């Protein structure tokens, strides 16, 4: 196995986590519709238990909409975490609410550390709009922008979306790819994901993904599910896009693959520089409904 392991960095976590998986998986439970989302107390308890547990090095940020930030602060104050929670703040109440939300976060430094501010972008996002986002986000916090993909859009609309992704990256923000949701149209085609990866890799800025539901792409499609995308599929796709994966196999084949052991084996063969390259580009992902898919990764030999 070419992938080395290092301590995850958590004092409560004695088990090493591969750099390929370190801090990869965010908890996006609070983004679910409130009628189906678990209570904020349950989300905080589960997140802290996972972060401070044996596989804590796998856990990334806790993702929270700005509208739910006060409730999160209250619950964290009650829970008294051993160290601050890495926060991804999602703008759901307008950019004008960001300064107040960040002020709240910075005033609760024992509870929260702001890592990203994430917002959706209009289809015609331009430098003026992106500069406005940058003005709201401090230098030590990463701005993540999601140009909305046209649902069942025309070829021209898809091209326009990818142009917006490129503009986001070139401006210095991190593009976000939504790969799932409540509607079948929320799941992008493999062609769309492949082209998104190509744009992100070419720009060299990297990206995040949300809405993943599987570690590996399911092998069975139904009339109401045209095929969900997998975490390992995206990791291998990026590896091949930067020339570190299987040299004779394409990014498209990586995204189509349903053989979990084959994907895991390819990732385990990556050299150290390949792992660094992959994670430098594919920074984080949100997986629903199980925020930390430990059992699946253990079964594939990627976690001990």
| pLDDT of res. 166 | 95
Q: Tell me what the mean pLDDT of segment 189-200 comes to.
A: 94
pLDDT at 187 over 50: yes
In tens, the pLDDT along 247-267 reads 778 999 999 999 999 999 999
| pLDDT of res. 124 | 87
| pLDDT of res. 222 | 61
For the chain, give every domain's residue range: 19-299
Domain covering 19-299: architecture: Alpha-Beta Barrel (3.20)
Between residues 224 and 195, the one the model is more confident about: 195
Closest among 180, 200, 302, 286 to 251, alpha carbons compared: 200
CA dist 149 and 155 (Å) reads 12
Q: Tell me what the mean pLDDT of segment 153-181 comes to.
A: 92
Q: Tell me what the mean pLDDT of segment 72-94 comes to.
A: 97
pTM of the model: 0.91
pLDDT at 103 over 70: yes
pLDDT above 70: percentage of residues in the chain: 92
CA dist 127 and 289 (Å) reads 35
Find residue 112's DSSP bridge partners.
Answer: 85
CA dist 274 and 271 (Å) reads 5
pLDDT band, residue 35 (cuts 50/70/90): confident
CA dist 4 and 83 (Å) reads 27
Q: pLDDT averaged over the chain? A: 89
pLDDT band, residue 57 (cuts 50/70/90): very high
Q: Tell me what the mean pLDDT of segment 73-101 comes to.
A: 96
In tens, the pLDDT along 42-56 reads 999 999 999 999 999
């Amino acid at each position: 196995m070419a992938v080395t392991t290092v301590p995850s960095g958590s004092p409560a976590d004695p088990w090493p986590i591969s750099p390929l998986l370190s801090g990869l998986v965010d908890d996006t439970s609070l983004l679910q519709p409130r009628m189906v989302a678990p209570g904020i107390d349950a989300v905080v308890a589960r997140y802290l238990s996972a972060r401070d547990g044996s596989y804590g090095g796998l856990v990334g940020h806790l993702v929270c909409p700005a509208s739910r930030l006060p409730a999160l602060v209250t619950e964290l104050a009650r829970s008294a975490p051993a160290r601050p929670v890495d926060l991804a703040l999602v703008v759901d109440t307008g950019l004008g609410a960001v300064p107040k939300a960040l002020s709240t976060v910075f005033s609760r430094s024992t509870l929260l550390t702001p890592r990203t501010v994430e917002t959706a972008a209009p289809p015609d996002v331009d430098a003026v709009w992106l500069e406005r986002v940058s003005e709201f986000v401090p230098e030590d916090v990463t701005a993540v922008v999601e140009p909305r993909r046209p649902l069942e859009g025309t070829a021209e609309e898809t091209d326009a979306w990818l142009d917006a992704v490129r503009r986001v990256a070139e401006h210095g923000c991190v593009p976000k790819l939504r790969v799932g949701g409540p509607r079948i149209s929320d799941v992008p085609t493999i062609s769309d994901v492949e082209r998104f990866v190509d744009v992100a890799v070419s720009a060299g800025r990297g990206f995040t993904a949300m809405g993943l539901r599987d570690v590996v792409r399911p092998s069975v499609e139904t009339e109401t599910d045209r095929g969900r995308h997998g975490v390992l599929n995206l990791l291998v796709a990026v590896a091949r896009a930067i020339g570190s994966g299987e040299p004779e196999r394409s990014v498209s084949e990586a995204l189509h693959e349903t053989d979990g052991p084959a994907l895991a084996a390819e990732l385990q063969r990556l050299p150290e520089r390949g792992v660094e390259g992959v994670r430098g580009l594919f920074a984080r992902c949100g997986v629903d409904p199980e925020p930390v898919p430990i059992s699946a990764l253990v079964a594939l030999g990627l976690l001990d």
